[in-house]
Amino acid sequence: GGAGMAAVREVEIDPEGTFKYILVRLQRPGGGEQRDVVRGTKAAEFHNHIFEKVNPEMEKLGYECKCLGGGKIDHNSKDKKIRVFGLSTGYGKADHSVTVEILKKVYTDYEITWSDDKK
């Protein structure tokens, strides 16, 4: 089935600043392969704005999307640090430890931390 999940980038976040993010599970209809991806951007005022953009993109590729929760990301590219925190009112709190593991695959030389702090 085409390029499969490898074609989907695990992380798409803004290069700098503090912004909302969501953790999304992609799955082939009827089970089978699945993958969790991180999406975040300052352009989104609310968490569901991010999901509303990701969902149609992934449906085109043949995936069902489920939002596993959200939070915020503080991305400091100068110091190579990312902090994951907060929660989404609509989707609940993502498992930030999972988010961190995904981020580490992409930002290999960063210091990446998470907490349940709201700010």
47 is catalytic: yes
Residue 95 backbone class (left: φ over 0; alpha: ψ -120 to 50; beta: rest)? beta
Q: Is 20 annotated as a binding residue?
A: yes
Q: Tokens 């702090």 — which residue? A: 117
Token pair for residue 11? Answer: 């992380």
Cα separation, 23 vs 37, in Å, equals 6
106 close to 11: Cβ distance less than 8 angstroms = yes
110 close to 53: Cβ distance less than 8 angstroms = no
Catalytic residue among 47, 49, 75, 96: 47
- Active-site amino acid positions: 47
* Known binding-site residue numbers for substrate: 20
* Known binding-site residue numbers: 20
